[in-house]
């Protein structure tokens, strides 16, 4: 377990520790968190798949956009407050960080209460709006009604998780997230099969797990020199919300468009039956797991970026960025090669015996893996721009992959190529998003080099 550190010791660690060692020490817990969270997200898909119904499996995919909306709100408040906290902690202003931490946390919990109320009151029309077919809708409604009580805790947990990461306390963030994830994996078969709750059991397991994560993360804020959550520091000023939105809107845009993209995917695949929705839902979850390690690696980079940018160590920001891109790209190449080779077996894990689901899912998975290494640059560029507070570029890039590129791709390609177009949409979007990332990011990196040379007197 990490030793207690003062704010001054954290600052020295972030600005003086050799970058490779610092990156891996911060990235290891976040990679573990993301991988286990991916298993957690896939647990419902896997265990519901054991029921043997394409409609039940499709329901999990249909409700996924609602989860993405909750995550969008949580990431907005978490990244917005956390980015600001890392910069002001780098500049030595602890009081500002304390006010921002509580403001982000309380605002997120209140937003989660609103989401819960809407979900409970409008579960029926909501699942149809998310792309459910008449055969999938009954399962999806069961899932939503038991998922919603956990919404405030999920949203607030994401804030606490990100605030801990941005303070350089990824270990405590990992404990909170992974404990809830492992609990969900244990509770899923208990509720779904032993208690014969079916799809509703998967939702109940998720809600209870989120509540446990929430309290563990809250406890983590009282350890290792982290900013404590004291409600008296709640400061809902226009200036604070402006900072939250400046740093958090890119996350809101990215996750919100993830939700809309999944709805569009469900609608496009729905014309080819429940098997197509189930297959694309499985592929989406598998690919989330494939990129989760890279997102975790990037999350390890973010506090380094924030602290060093706030402290004026532009050389460390730039060097850490390129180091992380190289590692992430290499890892994704290896993951993609393995997934292409094992694609049929991977799909069959989630819904064995359904040849139509396996055929559709296998091709979609292989096509997505062919282009997924490009995500390394796109993801890390977005994280760097967002952490530095370059809101316009960060928001545009956050919207690129699943919004500006994927949504038009899935709608246009489906019309042109039918089901093949649905399967092709994500790899096309990955290529286009990478091409957008280059002109948005390279000038910023050149500016960092110029500042670095100016500071050194060259």
- The pLDDT assigned to 81 comes to 93
Mean pLDDT of 310-316: 89
Mean pLDDT of 417-422: 95
CA distances from 175 to 76, 165, 211, 426 (A): 22, 12, 14, 32
Give the residue carrying structure tokens 């610092």: 22
CA distance 454 to 448: 10
Mean pLDDT of 188-210: 90
- 156: confidence class by pLDDT, cuts 50, 70, 90: very high
What is the token pair recorded at 14? 């972030």
Q: Examine the pLDDT at 5 and tell me if it is beyond 70.
A: no
Asked if residue 157 lies in contact with residue 197, where contact means CB atoms within 8 angstroms, the answer is no
Mean pLDDT of 416-429: 95
- The pLDDT assigned to 46 comes to 74
Q: Examine the pLDDT at 2 and tell me if it is beyond 50.
A: no
- Rounded to the nearest 10°, the torsion over CA 447, 449, 450, 456 is 150
In the chain, the percentage of residues whose pLDDT exceeds 90 is 42
Contacts of 13 (CB under 8 A, 6+ apart): 5, 22, 168
Mean pLDDT of 82-89: 85
- The pLDDT assigned to 7 comes to 63
Contacts of 114 (CB under 8 A, 6+ apart): none
Q: Examine the pLDDT at 1 and tell me if it is beyond 60.
A: no
- The pLDDT assigned to 168 comes to 76
pLDDT digits (tens, 9 = 90+) for 348-393: 887 666 789 899 999 999 999 999 999 999 999 999 998 888 888 9
Asked if residue 212 lies in contact with residue 233, where contact means CB atoms within 8 angstroms, the answer is no
What is the token pair recorded at 94? 């602890």
Q: Examine the pLDDT at 236 and tell me if it is beyond 50.
A: yes
* Dihedral sign, Cα of residue 346, residue 352, residue 358, residue 361: negative
**Upper half-sphere CA count for residue 75 (Cβ side, 13 Å):** 20
Higher pLDDT, 246 or 45: 246
CA distances from 32 to 39, 111, 182, 331, 379 (A): 11, 28, 12, 15, 18
Asked if residue 91 lies in contact with residue 311, where contact means CB atoms within 8 angstroms, the answer is yes
Q: Rank 10-14, 382-386, 433-437 by mean pLDDT and report only the highest.
A: 433-437
pLDDT digits (tens, 9 = 90+) for 250-297: 778 777 787 788 888 888 998 898 889 889 988 988 898 888 888 888
- The pLDDT assigned to 326 comes to 95
pLDDT digits (tens, 9 = 90+) for 59-68: 887 888 788 7
Q: Examine the pLDDT at 102 and tell me if it is beyond 80.
A: yes
pLDDT digits (tens, 9 = 90+) for 25-58: 888 877 877 777 676 666 777 788 777 677 777 7
Closest CA to 8 of 83, 90, 100, 97: 90
Q: Examine the pLDDT at 218 and tell me if it is beyond 50.
A: yes
Closest CA to 67 of 165, 193, 158, 163: 158
Give the residue carrying structure tokens 């604070």: 240
Q: Considering the entire predicted model, what is its pTM? A: 0.72
- 4: confidence class by pLDDT, cuts 50, 70, 90: low
Mean pLDDT of the chain: 87
Q: Examine the pLDDT at 330 and tell me if it is beyond 70.
A: yes
Exposed / middle / buried, residue 24 (Cβ in 10 Å: 0-12, 13-18, 19+): middle
What is the token pair recorded at 96? 């500002």
């Amino acid at each position: 377990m990490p030793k207690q550190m003062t704010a001054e010791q954290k600052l020295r660690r972030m600005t003086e520790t050799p970058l490779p060692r610092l990156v891996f020490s911060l990235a290891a817990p976040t990679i573990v968190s993301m991988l286990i969270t991916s298993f957690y997200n896939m647990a419902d898909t896997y265990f519901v798949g054991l029921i043997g119904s394409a409609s039940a499996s499709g329901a999990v995919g249909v409700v996924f956009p609602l989860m993405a909306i909750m995550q969008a709100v949580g990431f907005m408040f978490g990244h917005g407050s956390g980015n600001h906290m890392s910069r002001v902690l780098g500049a030595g202003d602890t009081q500002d960080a304390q006010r921002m931490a509580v403001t982000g946390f309380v605002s997120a919990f209140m937003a989660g209460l609103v989401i819960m109320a809407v979900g409970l009151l409008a579960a029926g029309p909501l699942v149809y709006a998310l792309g459910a077919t008449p055969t999938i809708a009954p399962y999806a409604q069961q899932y939503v009604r038991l998922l919603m009580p956990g919404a405030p805790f999920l949203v607030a947990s994401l804030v606490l998780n990100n605030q801990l990461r941005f303070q350089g306390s990824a270990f405590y963030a990992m404990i909170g997230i992974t404990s809830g994830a492992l609990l969900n994996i244990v509770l899923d078969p208990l509720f779904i099969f032993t208690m014969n709750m079916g799809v509703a059991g998967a939702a109940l397991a998720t809600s209870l797990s989120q509540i446990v994560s929430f309290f563990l993360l809250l406890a983590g804020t009282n350890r290792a020199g982290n900013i404590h959550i004291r409600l008296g520091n709640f400061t809902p000023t226009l200036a604070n919300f402006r900072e939250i939105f400046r740093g958090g809107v890119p996350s809101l845009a990215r996750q919100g468009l993830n939700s809309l993209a999944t709805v569009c995917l469900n609608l496009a695949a729905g014309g080819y039956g429940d098997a197509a929705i189930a297959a694309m839902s499985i592929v989406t979850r598998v690919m989330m797991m494939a990129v989760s390690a890279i997102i975790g690696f990037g999350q390890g980079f973010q506090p380094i970026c924030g602290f060093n940018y706030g402290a004026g160590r532009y050389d460390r920001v730039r060097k850490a960025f390129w180091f992380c891109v190289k590692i992430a790209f290499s890892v994704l190449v290896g993951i993609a090669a393995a997934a292409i080779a094992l694609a049929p077996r991977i799909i069959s894990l989630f819904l064995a015996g359904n040849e139509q689901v396996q055929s559709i899912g296998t091709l979609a998975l292989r096509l997505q893996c062919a282009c997924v290494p490009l995500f390394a640059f796109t993801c890390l560029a977005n994280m760097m721009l967002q952490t530095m507070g370059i809101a316009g570029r960060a928001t545009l890039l956050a919207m690129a992959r699943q919004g500006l590129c994927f949504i038009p791709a899935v709608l246009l390609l489906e019309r042109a190529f039918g089901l093949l177009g649905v399967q092709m949409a994500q790899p096309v979007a990955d290529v286009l998003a990478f091409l957008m990332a280059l002109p948005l990011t390279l000038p910023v990196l050149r500016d960092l080099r110029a500042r670095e040379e100016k500071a050194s007197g060259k």
